[in-house]
Amino acid sequence: MSGNIPPPLGLLAELTHRCPLGCPYCSNPVDLEKRGAELDTATWQRVLREAAGLGVLQLHLSGGEPAARPDLEVIAAAAAEAGLYANLITSGVLLDAARIGALARAGLAHVQLSIQHAEPEAADRIAHFRGGHARKLALAAMVRDAGLALTVNTVLHRGNIDALPEMIGLAEAMGAQRMEVAHTQYHGWALRNRAALMPAREAVEWTRGIVEAERKRLGNAMAIDFVAPDYHATRPKACMGGWGRRFLNISPSGQVLPCHAAETIPGLAFENVRNSSLEDIWYGSDSFNRFRGTDWMPLPCRECDRREIDWGGCRCQALALTGDASRTDPVCGLSPDHALIAAARAEAPQEEYAWRR
329 binds ligand SF4 (CB under 6 A): yes
Total site size for ligand SF4, rule CB under 6 A = 14
DSSP at 24 = T
Residue 332 known to bind ligand? no
Q: Which residues bind ligand FES (CB under 6 A)?
A: 187, 239-240, 259, 261-262, 314-317
- By a kind-dependent CB cut-off of 5 to 8 A, residue 39 interacts, out of ligand SF4, ligand FES, none, with none
The HSE-up count of residue 185 (CA atoms within 13 Å, CB side) is 22
Name the segment binding ligand SF4 (CB under 6 A); options: 157-165, 224-232, 278-286, 299-307.
Answer: 299-307
- The correct pick among 94, 198, 332, 341 for binding ligand SF4 (CB under 6 A) is 332
- The correct pick among 7, 300, 322, 345 for binding ligand SF4 (CB under 6 A) is 300
- By a kind-dependent CB cut-off of 5 to 8 A, residue 238 interacts, out of ligand SF4, ligand FES, none, with none
| CA–CA distance, 89 with 91 (Å, rounded to integer) | 7
- The correct pick among 5, 195, 334, 340 for binding ligand SF4 (CB under 6 A) is 334
- By a kind-dependent CB cut-off of 5 to 8 A, residue 315 interacts, out of ligand SF4, ligand FES, none, with ligand FES
Q: By C-beta, is 109 or 259 nearer to ligand SF4?
A: 259
Residue 301 known to bind ligand? no
124 binds ligand SF4 (CB under 6 A): no
What values do phi and psi take at 149, rounded to 5? -70, 145
Shortest gap between Cβ of 303 and ligand SF4 (angstroms)? 8
Q: By C-beta, is 301 or 314 nearer to ligand FES?
A: 314
10 binds ligand SF4 (CB under 6 A): no
- The correct pick among 236, 244, 254, 258 for binding ligand SF4 (CB under 6 A) is 236
The answer to whether the beta carbons of residues 187 and 317 sit under 8 Å apart is yes
- By a kind-dependent CB cut-off of 5 to 8 A, residue 60 interacts, out of ligand SF4, ligand FES, none, with none
Phi/psi-derived region of residue 326, left when phi > 0, alpha when psi is between -120 and 50, beta in every other case: alpha
What values do phi and psi take at 317, rounded to 5? -70, -40
312 binds ligand SF4 (CB under 6 A): yes
Q: Which helix (H) or strand (E) holds 46?
A: helix 41-54
The answer to whether the beta carbons of residues 11 and 56 sit under 8 Å apart is yes
Q: By C-beta, is 28 or 317 nearer to ligand FES?
A: 317
State how far Cα 48 lies from the chain centre.
Answer: 19
The secondary structure of 152-193 as a DSSP string is: EEEEE-TTTGGGHHHHHHHHHHTT-SEEEEEEPP--THHHHT
Shortest gap between Cβ of 237 and ligand FES (angstroms)? 8
178 binds ligand SF4 (CB under 6 A): no
Contacts with 272 (C-beta within 8 Å, 6 or more apart), sequence order: 253, 254, 255, 256
- The correct pick among 125, 128, 307, 357 for binding ligand SF4 (CB under 6 A) is 307
The secondary structure of 47-114 as a DSSP string is: HHHHHHHHT--EEEEESS-GGGSTTHHHHHHHHHHTT-EEEEEE-STT--HHHHHHHHHHT--EEEEE
| CA–CA distance, 147 with 132 (Å, rounded to integer) | 23
What values do phi and psi take at 225, rounded to 5? -95, 140
Residue 19 known to bind ligand? yes
Shortest gap between Cβ of 238 and ligand SF4 (angstroms)? 9
317 binds ligand SF4 (CB under 6 A): no
328 binds ligand SF4 (CB under 6 A): yes
Q: By C-beta, is 160 or 328 nearer to ligand SF4?
A: 328
| CA–CA distance, 58 with 247 (Å, rounded to integer) | 10
- Residue list, annotated binding site for [4Fe-4S] cluster: 19, 23, 26
Binding site for ligand SF4 (CB under 6 A): 235-236, 300-301, 304, 306-307, 310, 312-313, 328-329, 332, 334
